[in-house]
Structure 1
Amino acid sequence: MKPLIILLSSFVISLFAIKIINREYDFALSGRIAMSIMLVFTAIGHFIFTQGMSMMIPKFIPYKGVFVHLTGVFEILLAISLLIPRLKYISGWTLIIFLLLMLPTNIYASINNINYQKGTFDGSGLSYLWFRIPLQFLFIIWTFLSTIRMC
């Protein structure tokens, strides 16, 4: 829920800030700014909740903590690249692929009742997917509209 709030509030703030500065709305740029802010926010979680996020990764994958940190760094790099005009198209497609690849992790975490913030097995369970899957697709559509469709 927090990433959604960050995304929407950042979008509204940047939309009006750009309107004040440029005297016109720029929905695509505002969308990329909001997505970048949201990505940095979620990337920070990779470093704060490493243990819990490691639990979200299936057991057969080694070096879970390193993987969590690398994906956090990757999110920060994507956040930056979304704001570089000549990189926004490739960054958009990369982010869409990344979001699709991360969806099974969220499904695995829900099936196993993982609470990534506490690092325990008392999470929301499958009911969380009713929110998370549509949210993941919202992020994908948002990325497409603000980086690829608007190019």
Structure 2
Amino acid sequence: MSRAQKASLGLLAVGFIGAGVMHFVRPRMFTQIVPPQLPAPQTLVAVSGAAEVLGGVGLLIPRLRKAAGWGLVALLAAVFPANIYMATVAERFASLAPAWVLWARLPLQPLAMLWVWWAAVRGDR
């Protein structure tokens, strides 16, 4: 594993753990971005927050790293509809970010997935 991959694991772990904790500290911020066609926004926010925390911790444990990486890649794919929803109704989220930011972050999701895969899955060979 390269130094860059090791550093990435630390950054990713801090990022995912921090984001996951925020699901519980400020749940309303997250429930409002759940697309309206999905059921039980509070439950989805709690489950995704717990998955982020567990995945972030898993990145730091060598024997769990690969599974945590795949889990986080899947989680990033699962929450992508919320990012699309935010961008397509950007006026509803003007207090969170300008519309251009919501659109600009859409291509970042696959890049984040690739980063997790590179650091946790590929780097764990």
1:124 partnered with 2:98: yes
Q: What is the number of residues matched between the two proteins?
A: 122
d(CA) in 2 for partners of 1:115, 1:36: 27
1:52, CA displacement in angstroms?
A: 2.8
Separation of aligned partners in 2, 1:110 and 1:34: 26
Structure 1 segment 1-150 matched on structure 2, within 5 A: 26-113=3-90, 114-115=92-93, 123-125=97-99, 127-150=100-123
The TM-score normalised by the length of structure 2 is 0.83
4+ residue segments displaced more than 6 Å? none
Q: Distance in 1 between matches of 2:79 and 2:47?
A: 13
Structure with higher Rg: it is: 1
- Checking the alignment, whether the CA contact within 8 Å between 1:56 and 1:108 is kept in structure 2 is yes
Flag the 1:29–1:79 CA change in 2: closer, same or farther, 3 A.
Answer: same
Unaligned runs of 5+ in 2: none
Cα distance in 2 for residues equivalent to 1:56 and 1:39: 18
Q: Could you tell me how far 1:42 is from its partner in structure 2?
A: 1.2
C-alpha displacement at 1:143, in angstroms? 0.8
Gapped regions of structure 1 (runs ≥ 5): 1-24
Measured against aligned partners, the alpha-carbon deviations of 1:52-108 in whole angstroms (never above 9, x if no partner) come to 321211223222112212211110000111111111111111111111111111110
Residue type at the aligned position of 1:83: L
Query: TM-score, normalization: structure 1?
Result: 0.71
RMSD: 2.1
Identity of aligned residues (%): 25
Residue 12 of structure 1: aligned partner: none
